[in-house]
Every structure is written in C-alpha cells, then in structure tokens.
C-alpha cells in the first residue's frame, strides 16, 4: 500500500525507503538499495528529481544520459516525463560500435564506460554519487562522443566521500548521507 508523502519532509520520506545493505558488494561497503523506493514511490521520485531543475534549465536540455544500471531507470523516467531523448552510458562491451570509452575508478575498484557518438545538450543521471569517478568519466565520455554536458543529478549523494564538481557543475541530489 502506498503512503502519501507530504512536501514538508520529502527528502526524509524518500530516504526512509532506501535500504542499507552492509558489506555489499564487498566488505566495508554500505550499499544503498533503492529498490524499495522505486517499487513504492517511483512516480514521486521522478517528479522530485525533475524539480531539481527549473523550467528554463529543462528547455536547455535535449538528452538525458543514464549511467548503467540504476541510472537508466531514473534517466528514462525523467526523459519520458520531460519529453527528452534518452542515451545509455554503459559498461564496456555492452553497446554496438562505434563507441567512445573512458576508464574510471570506483569506491571499490575500477571499470570503464562506453557511449555511442551523437550530439546534443545532455543532463547526466545516476542513482548514487560516491567518489564522483563515475560521473566524471561519464561527463568526459559525453564530451568525447559529441555531446555538451549541461548538468548532473543523482538520487543519493554520499557527501562524506566526495566534493564533486565538473567544469563548474555540481550534481543536484534529493537524498544526502553524511556518514
């Protein structure tokens, strides 16, 4: 059963649906599982993420780039609601070429992202901002593949792990964790 959320404490209400999973995917990592939030309050989550940007800012965006995999969910929802195109930013080897590729560091390892070439003004979306390595790689990748980055949004910001900005853009977030 869905519970109506008041605007007053919306961030706290959303955060209540994020489940903490200790030692996943590796020991020492506190995984923030957004599955309950998406299951019970997907529409509200997309609406509130959309409100992170003004009407004017939305008019200056052509495309929403979603970072694999949970960023796909949020980005696709935002793209549908705001009538924008959707671009997949995937892990290495998951897209047919030609693609641009960028290696990056994670909170718990290394990986690579790929994106197909194109053009347009892009907002980059991910579920969690930890160290900022994934967002930085996605932004560089977007630029290398022909897009112009217009901003970032993440559902969750682990502010104790980062002070991320890229070329003057600071990600906008709904939920912040201080520890």
Please list the active-site residues: 70, 107
What is the distance between the alpha carbons of residues 152 and 65, in angstroms, rounded to a whole number? 9
Sign of CA dihedral 9, 178, 154, 73: negative
Q: Say which residue the tokens 């290394």 belong to.
A: 110
Residue 59 tokens, joined: 């008019």
Across the chain, where does the E strand assignment appear? 19-22, 30-33, 63-67, 85-91, 99-106, 109-116, 120-129, 147-158, 172-177
Residues 6+ apart with CB under 8 A from 25: 31, 108
Triad 145, 52, 86: Cα angle to 5°: 35
What is the DSSP secondary structure assignment for residue 87, as one 8-state letter? E
């Amino acid at each position: 059963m869905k519970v109506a959320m008041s605007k007053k404490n919306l961030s706290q209400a959303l955060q209540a649906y994020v489940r903490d999973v200790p030692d996943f995917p590796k020991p020492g990592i506190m995984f923030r599982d957004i599955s309950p939030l998406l299951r019970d309050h997907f529409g509200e989550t997309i609406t509130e993420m959309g409100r992170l940007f003004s009407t004017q800012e939305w008019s200056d965006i052509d495309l929403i780039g979603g970072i694999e995999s949970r960023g796909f969910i949020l980005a696709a929802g935002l793209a549908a609601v705001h009538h924008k195109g959707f671009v997949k930013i995937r892990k290495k080897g998951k897209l047919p070429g030609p693609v641009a590729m960028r290696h990056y560091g994670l909170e718990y390892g290394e990986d690579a992202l790929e994106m197909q070439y194109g053009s347009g003004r892009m907002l980059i979306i991910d579920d969690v901002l930890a160290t900022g390595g994934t967002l930085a790689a996605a932004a560089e990748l977007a630029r290398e593949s022909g897009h112009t980055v217009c901003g970032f949004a993440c559902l969750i910001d682990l502010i104790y792990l980062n002070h991320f900005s890229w070329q003057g853009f600071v990600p906008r977030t709904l939920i912040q964790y201080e520890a």
